[in-house]
A = this chain, B = another copy of it.
Amino acid sequence: MNIGEAASASGVSAKMIRYYEKVGLVEAPARTDAGYRSYGSRDVHNLRFVRRARDLGFTVDEIRDLLGLWRDQGRRSADVKRMALDQIRLLEQKARHLQEMADTLKSLADCCTGDARPDCPIIAGLEAGQPLTSRRPNRRFGVTNERAVPPRR
């Protein structure tokens, strides 16, 4: 199976498969004489695992850990659960922060008539006063798995 087939079978783009290989997330597969990567169903399975973990917002580093646990037949489910709970906490924190930003903006927008006149409480709100967040946002606040994937053709 060439990289293209593996890509469509796993839902991970060929580009990303090479990238995951480079950063050591997946093993380098055998090569044909011409140097083409050759994948098996097991590789596709791995890639799907990665894909799903990315979909859940795990970073590449975390997925490395998850893969380790996946392969470790003697793993303790507690270890996996801890990672999952940490991730849930982070995700919810990020979601809350975004919602707060939206709410702040909403309260400004609610006061805005939104007509042809120049008076605008939103602009005024941006102009005046203290910074809106004094809180230090958590590192890794953003959603790191921004998959700016073009629609599949």
A residues lining the B interface (CB < 8 Å) = 11, 45, 48-49, 51-53, 55-57, 66, 69-70, 72-78, 80-82, 84-85, 87-88, 91-92, 94-99, 101-102, 104-106, 108-109, 112-120, 122-123, 125-127, 129, 131-133, 136-137, 139-149, 151-152
- A132 and B52 form a contact (CB under 8 A): yes
Copies in the complex: 2
Given known A-B contacts A55-B133, A77-B115, A92 and B98 have beta carbons under 8 A apart? yes
Tell me the nearest residue of chain B to A91, going by C-beta: B102
Return chain B residues, CB-CB under 8 Å to A143: 94, 97-98, 141-143
- B131 and A137 form a contact (CB under 8 A): no
Given known A-B contacts A114-B77, A114-B78, A127-B49, A99 and B106 have beta carbons under 8 A apart? no
Can you show 29 pairs from A to B with CB atoms below 8 A apart? Answer: A45-B127, A48-B127, A51-B131, A52-B127, A52-B132, A55-B101, A55-B131, A55-B132, A56-B132, A57-B98, A57-B101, A70-B123, A70-B127, A76-B115, A76-B117, A77-B114, A77-B118, A77-B120, A77-B123, A78-B114, A84-B109, A84-B112, A87-B105, A91-B99, A91-B105, A92-B102, A95-B96, A97-B143, A141-B146
Return chain B residues, CB-CB under 8 Å to A120: 69, 75, 77, 80-81
